[in-house]
Structure 1
Amino acid sequence: MSQKEKVVQGALCQCQFGTTPDKLKVLTQQKYYINDLNGSSKLAATHKDIGATFEKNTFGSCKKKNNTPCSAVVTEWSGYYEKEKYSPPDGYILLEDSKATCPIGGKDCISIIKTGQIGEPSQSNLKNADSELQPHVNPVVDMSNYNSKDPYKFGY
């Protein structure tokens, strides 16, 4: 796996024959969450998420169908991580380089543009932040006063 991101609900996908991306919807399970501070919206996507598993179920016009509207359907996924399985649905986790097959576009025509994961800093991240580096990364907030009532009050 070596540093590849896992795919979650909301991942942005694109078909090589379509004109617009669509967001992945996890329909196979409601139990396993990844990269979600509150554990309520970033469901883990697995290779069992097949069928009409996108928000709009279209990638715009399809070049394979003479630029008529696409109706996105996933028949299988490849490139998933076989060492991490979620049960139910007995599915292996999808990774950033996983690809999906569509009956119109063919094998591996759908790729993942963004995994859907977003960094959400927690209090422990802020507490352990490098105090010399932080003013350069985020000059608006004075990290030494972050826990005070006014984190925007500069100490200089």
Structure 2
Amino acid sequence: MSKQYVLVQGAQCKCQFGDGPDKLKVLSHSKFYASDQNAADKLIATSMELGGATFEANTFGQCKLQPTGSSFKPCQIVVMQWDGFYKDVELGNGGKILTDKSKAICPIAGSPCISVIQHGQSTEGSVSGNNDNKEVENQLNPLSETEEQNSSEIKQVKFT
């Protein structure tokens, strides 16, 4: 099974019938978090993110399924249902966790046409201090430079 990532507040989604992406807003709860050092900004998205206010701009641009002569009507996002959520966990709001493989159904298309571009999580490195244990650091990352390696003396190692 391939890796899946939990969707969080700010995940970018797109509609196959729209012009551009929009960012997901988590409105179904305010207490389940994922990822990032400042997790308060990263609420977990669930299958309960339904209705018309689930995205920041609430539009994917022009909807190719709604022609108006020489143009198209603007998209007004309404999520009816989510497919492809993580079924093994149910959060306190009754929702299942959405993943980067999840898709949403809109009433105009009637099929799962809204997909995930980016899950919204980000990796953060730690701040390195001067009290690092160089021996441990070299064991974890043998390619890192230590004070010994910075000296002009080069040691050769013979493998037998």
TM-score normalised by the shorter chain: which range applies? Answer: 0.7 to 0.9
Note the 1:33-112 alignment, pairs <5 A: 33-52=33-52, 53-66=54-67, 67-87=72-92, 89-112=93-116
1:114 corresponds, among 113, 118, 124, to 118
Cα offset, 1:121, TM superposition: 2.2
Partner of 1:63: helix, strand, or coil?
strand
Give the counterpart letter for 2:64 in structure 1: K
Q: CA deviation at 1:36?
A: 2.2
Secondary structure class of the residue paired with 1:40: helix
Q: Which residue does 1:14 correspond to in 2?
A: 14
Q: CA 1:85–1:69 in structure 2 vs 1: closer, same or farther (change >3 Å)?
A: same
Q: Which ranges of structure 1 fall in alignment gaps of 5 or more residues?
A: 136-143, 146-154
* Amino acid paired to 1:78: D
Question: Quick one: which of 123, 141, 145 aligns to 1:131?
Answer: 141
C-alpha distance in 2 between matches for 1:31 and 1:98: 21
Counterpart AA for 1:77: W
The Cα offsets for residues 8-31 of structure 1, whole Å up to 9 and x where unpaired, read as 010000000000100000000100
Letter in 2 for 1:65: Q
Give, in angstroms, the shift of residue 4 of structure 1.
0.7
Aligned length: 137
Give the TM-score taking structure 1 as reference length: 0.79
Q: 2:94 is aligned with what amino acid?
A: D
**Whole-angstrom distance in 2 between the partners of 1:134 and 1:93:** 38
Larger radius of gyration: 2
Residues 1:26 and 1:34: Cα distance change in structure 2 (over 3 Å): same
Q: Percent identity?
A: 46
SS at match of 1:103: coil
User: How many angstroms apart in 2 are the aligned matches of 1:2 and 1:9?
Assistant: 23
Return the alpha-carbon distance in structure 1 between the equivalents of residues 144 and 19 of structure 2: 40
The normalised TM-score by structure 2 is 0.77
Pick closer, same or farther for the CA change 1:99–1:134 going to 2, 3 Å: farther
